[in-house]
Amino acid sequence: MSTSTNVRLAGLHARYQFVETVRVPIAVIGTTLFPTLSLLFFIVPQSFAQDPAAATAATAQLAVFAVMSVSLFNYGVGVAEERALPWDGYTRTLPAGPSPRLVGRLLNGLAFVILGLVPLVLLAWLLTAATLPPSRLALTAAALLAAGFPLFAIGIGIGYSMSTKAALAVAQSLLLPLAFGGGLFLPPETFPGWLNSISMWLPTRAGRDLVVTATTGVDLPGPTVFVLGGWTLLAGSLAVWAYRRDEGRRFR
């Protein structure tokens, strides 16, 4: 199959998945507006919202939270829901292979990440002193993508290894611990020593530190790249295992 055909099919899958998701407005609101509401209620009223460095770091933390929310619910719960439908079983038997479907899902998730980031960035720009020089825009985008890799893989692993009810429960159970433990709601500088030691080994903390460094220019903590790379390999292996296991159980 030609590259152009694969690209066209991936776009078709992405459009189908996007339409299916927006038909449930509460799902869209939950994954896209919660980071913005967190900024509005927990960051804007604080005095540090008028400190450019602190406001920018807080916005960067919530941007990582937006990526994590989409990864756990759009990829994790969304994949589990699709696997329960006859249509998914049918599309997986077609000769196009898995690439168009997986790329389409990736594009669909990126679309919802953007939908979550736009109001967050807009409110941060209007209501706080957060700032991002144009010279750091590309670096920030790359940092967000790198921070999202292990979270995306965790979501895929959940979606292909669990039923819809189990995936929803696991996604909800992981969301807040990973967010609070990773310093996405409170700056890690406020953590007690024991919590900071645990936090340093979480994928959300590594992603948070990488994005804050990209946006503000502060020094990158030493273990960040190692932790982020380790989680990417571990979660990526889990996602590949879960997908192959699901293929073997349902289509042998």
Q: Does the pLDDT at position 249 exceed 70? A: no
Q: SS3 of 82, please?
A: helix
pLDDT for residue 152: 93
pLDDT for residue 96: 67
Q: Does the pLDDT at position 224 exceed 70? A: yes
Segment 210-236 mean pLDDT? 94
Task: Measure the CA dihedral 243/162/182/222, to 10°.
Answer: -30
Task: Report the predicted TM-score, pTM, of the whole model to 2 decimal places.
Answer: 0.90
195 vs 8, higher pLDDT: 195
Q: What one-letter code names the amino acid at 34?
A: F
Q: How far apart are CA 134 and CA 22, in angstroms?
A: 32
Give 172-214 pLDDT, tens digit per residue. 999 999 999 999 998 888 899 999 999 999 999 999 999 999 9
Q: How far apart are CA 24 and CA 112, in angstroms?
A: 13
Q: Does the pLDDT at position 170 exceed 90? A: yes
Angle at 120 between CA 119 and CA 126, to 5 degrees: 85
pLDDT for residue 33: 82
Q: Does the pLDDT at position 16 exceed 90? A: no
Q: Does the pLDDT at position 3 exceed 90? A: no
Confidence of residue 130 (pLDDT cuts 50, 70, 90): very high
DSSP annotation string for 179-212: HHHTTSSS-GGGS-HHHHHHHTTSHHHHHHHHHH
12 vs 155, higher pLDDT: 155
How high is the mean pLDDT of the chain? 88
Q: How far apart are CA 144 and CA 124, in angstroms?
A: 17
Give 195-206 pLDDT, tens digit per residue. 999 999 999 999
pLDDT for residue 100: 79
Please enumerate, as own/partner, the contacts of 230-234 that have beta carbons within 8 Å and a separation of 24 or more.
Answer: 231/150, 231/203, 231/206, 232/149, 232/150, 232/153, 234/150
User: In the chain, how many domains are there?
Assistant: 1
Percent of the chain with pLDDT over 90: 54
Percent of the chain with pLDDT over 70: 94
**Rg (Cα) of the chain, in Å, rounded?**
19
Structure tokens at 141: 């985008």
Would you tell me the crossing angle of helices 25-38 and 52-70 to the nearest 10 degrees?
160
Residue 204's nearest CA partner among 234, 174, 233 is 174
Residue span of the structural domain in which 220 resides:
3-251
Confidence of residue 91 (pLDDT cuts 50, 70, 90): confident
Q: SS3 of 53, please?
A: helix
Residue 231's nearest CA partner among 194, 196, 195, 206 is 206
Q: Does the pLDDT at position 250 exceed 60? A: no
Q: Does the pLDDT at position 252 exceed 60? A: no
Give 19-55 pLDDT, tens digit per residue. 877 777 776 777 778 889 889 988 898 888 899 999 9
Q: Does the pLDDT at position 1 exceed 70? A: no
Q: Does the pLDDT at position 106 exceed 80? A: yes
Instruction: Tell me if 40 sits within 8 A of 134, measured CB to CB.
Output: no
pLDDT for residue 53: 92
